[in-house]
Amino acid sequence: MITVASLAPYLGGALALGGIAVAASRRRELLIRWCAWAVGVPLVTGAFWWGRPGAAAVAVVVGVIAAMEFGALMRLGRWDRSVLAAAVAGVVLATWLAPGQELRAAAIGALAIAVVPLLAGDADQGLRRLGAGLLGLVWLGVLAALVPLGASGLALFMAVSVADIVAYFAGRGLGGPRLSPLSPAKRWSGTLSGAAAGLGVLAVLSALSWPMAVAVAVGGPAGDLLESMVKRGARVKDAGSWLPGSGGLLDRIDSLLIALAVLLVLS
């Protein structure tokens, strides 16, 4: 059985090795990104160590921030963003406090999202606002799965993160056909190399199963492409600018979101 205690040494080791590699590269942007990881990873690991309340706290904080970033990308107003963030948080809290009531919480959130443009009488942009809000709720609401998954969710995040990193460098080094017009820099060589690395991480962590494997190999790259599509539609490079070396939080969890969705479907 996977536990946070069994994952902690691997997380610490990965941070240490990453720090050595970053120091050797002498690249400032990599150092800034590693420092952000060095702060974030212990905080998230400590929260998951606390069990379901800790996982719920992480999912709520991440969901609210990501909802605000997504709302900005979709040019939603303050009330639309706030209601979306509350709806995502409500689904997460229902998973923790009222298991089995997640669909009811999601339905209430969807109705609240619809009410905002209806009350505003927005005939011009109401449909766009409603569609964007519902997409955000479905996309970000899967963070609620972190609550029951616990340490397995942490292992999934580690696997998709390693897969993303390997895919980036392997794609640049190996070249080859592009993966999708949505993200011209991504190559099939990088995606396949990243998938292999992600499966290797799952195997090392004793978390390898066919649903987890599909989630990492297929869900991870799909999540990255989905966010690329959203950002291209918004004509921006990053979902935010506040996270050192990483843009926004949504840029860091895009692969995890669809990986979680795939895992939920297959499980």
For residue 241, the model assigns a pLDDT of 76
Alpha-carbon dihedral 14, 58, 252, 214, rounded to 10 degrees: 80
Burial (0-12, 13-18, 19+ Cβ within 10 Å), 120: middle
Structural domain boundaries of the chain? 53-147
For residue 245, the model assigns a pLDDT of 63
Which residues, including other chains, have CB under 8 Å from residue 118's CB and lie 6 or more apart?
126
* Contact status, residue 157 vs residue 47, Cβ threshold 8 Å: no
The one-digit pLDDT tens for each residue of the chain (267 residues) are 788 988 988 888 888 888 887 788 777 777 887 788 888 888 999 999 999 999 999 999 999 999 999 999 999 999 999 999 999 999 999 999 999 999 999 999 999 999 999 999 999 999 999 999 999 999 999 999 999 999 999 999 999 999 998 998 888 888 888 888 888 888 999 999 999 999 999 999 999 999 999 999 999 999 999 999 999 888 888 887 777 666 789 998 999 999 999 999 998
* Contact status, residue 221 vs residue 230, Cβ threshold 8 Å: no
For residue 148, the model assigns a pLDDT of 95
For residue 2, the model assigns a pLDDT of 83
DSSP 123: T
Q: Report the C-alpha gap between 127 and 123 in whole angstroms.
A: 8
